[in-house]
Amino acid sequence: MKFEISRKGALKQLDAFINSDLASYSFKRNFDLGPTDKSNVSCLSPYISHRLITEYEVAKTVLSKFPYQKVEKYIQEIFWRVYWKGWLELRPQVWTDFIEDLKGLKEDDNYKKAINGETQIECFNDWVKELKENNYLHNHTRMWFASIWIFTLNLPWQKGAEFFMKYLFDGDAASNTLSWRWVAGLQTKGKHYVAQSWNISKFTNNKYKNVKLNENALPVTDKREYKLNPLDFITEDNSNENLLVFENELNLENKDLKKYKNIYLVLLSNDTRKLKLEQKVLDYKSEIINDQKKRFEELQIIDEVKFQTLVAEINSFDVVHPCIGENFSFLNTIRKKRNLKLNFVLSEEDKFSWQFSNKGFFNFKNNIPKILTSFKLQ
């Protein structure tokens, strides 16, 4: 499968999905039809994860053509990303601990066989190959993959989350990390997801039968507890001429860009990243930001080296809030080192929606109609 790497391509793909396959989404969505057929899902996540288009924009477009009741399941799936981001914003220590945990985990032969697709489990090996070739996996397959990794191959969930981040075009700190924690049984304590052979067989149209799995595994345990942090964004009472944008928050459609003298779009290299990305993923990010450059000529694309040179001269920026994760951690480190004055620019939709991420998704899901109504998305 190929992605047209542009905002225009994202909108075109959304329109095609709405007109062709959205009506059957709720009862076809769990089927993985193989690497070459993803027609039952929208495949918009590589765009949404970088906010080339936003969850709210997708919802508004969908609801302009279908009543909510007809597309409720799809809207809920789109809003999982909003929920996960809000959940991690309220508990940033989860990301910090995940990165720290990785430092102490070894890469043994069992791990190497897994990441090279050399296990005794055919479907798992095929998914490793698909992930590396296409930089994408069906969501249901990601759940099976994570469950097999954790409960059958007995590998640390953290290394699996790292592996996904390395290869996925749509990998983001919140959705990826927290989804792996959910499968392991750490998001909702004691409630884990265990892949079943019958389920894999059914939803791959019997491509994989009689898969030998540990179907009686106990959830992963972790004594660490995470208290809610207030959504407290650093704001400075000044008027900045300079705007910072990172590659995972590219939505500039509704920003007042004319007020800025300089707009800097930062793409971190692997030299700085805690989680190293495969070159194809870095290239994908580079192509996406180059598309934005074509649309907004005032953008200046820089890496972390140029950014650190820049902050030696400028110490005050507006920043499109990059969310908890790699980019935010980098920025926070530089902020403390250079005593930067930062004013975080956050969309009103995110501010409003994230307040409902304080509990489980069921609570968030019940508030989706309120979010849609508040911002006239339906």
pLDDT tens sequence for the chain (378 residues): 677 889 999 999 999 999 998 999 999 999 999 999 999 999 999 999 999 999 999 999 999 999 999 999 999 999 999 999 999 999 999 999 999 999 999 999 999 999 999 999 999 999 999 999 999 999 999 999 999 999 999 999 999 999 999 999 999 999 999 999 999 999 988 899 999 999 999 999 999 999 999 999 999 999 999 999 988 766 655 678 999 999 999 999 888 899 999 999 999 999 999 999 999 999 999 999 999 999 998 999 999 999 999 999 999 999 999 999 999 999 999 999 999 999 999 999 999 999 999 999 999 999 999 999 999 988
Q: Map tokens 């149209």 to a residue.
A: 205
242-345: which CATH topology? Answer: Rossmann fold (3.40.50)
- Tell me, what's the pLDDT at 322? 95
Q: Which CATH number fits domain 1-91+348-378: 3.40.1800, 2.60.40, 3.30.200, 1.25.40?
A: 1.25.40
The pTM assigned to this predicted structure is 0.96
- Tell me, what's the pLDDT at 113? 98
Nearest to 105 by CA among 170, 44, 48, 149: 149
Quote the crossing angle between the two packed helices 139-147 and 173-184, to the nearest 10°. Answer: 50
Cβ atoms within 10 Å, residue 112? 10
- Tell me, what's the pLDDT at 238? 60
The CA-CA-CA angle for residues 209, 215, 221, to 5°, reads 145
Is 2.60.120.10 the CATH number for 95-203?
Answer: no
Cα atoms found within 13 Å of the Cα of residue 196, Cβ hemisphere only: 7
For residue 2 the two structure tokens come to 């190929």
CB of 272 within 8 A of CB of 247? no
Domain ranges of the chain: 1-91+348-378, 95-203, 242-345
CB of 81 within 8 A of CB of 174? yes
Nearest to 66 by CA among 9, 24, 31: 24
- Tell me, what's the pLDDT at 230? 86
CA distance 283 to 133: 14
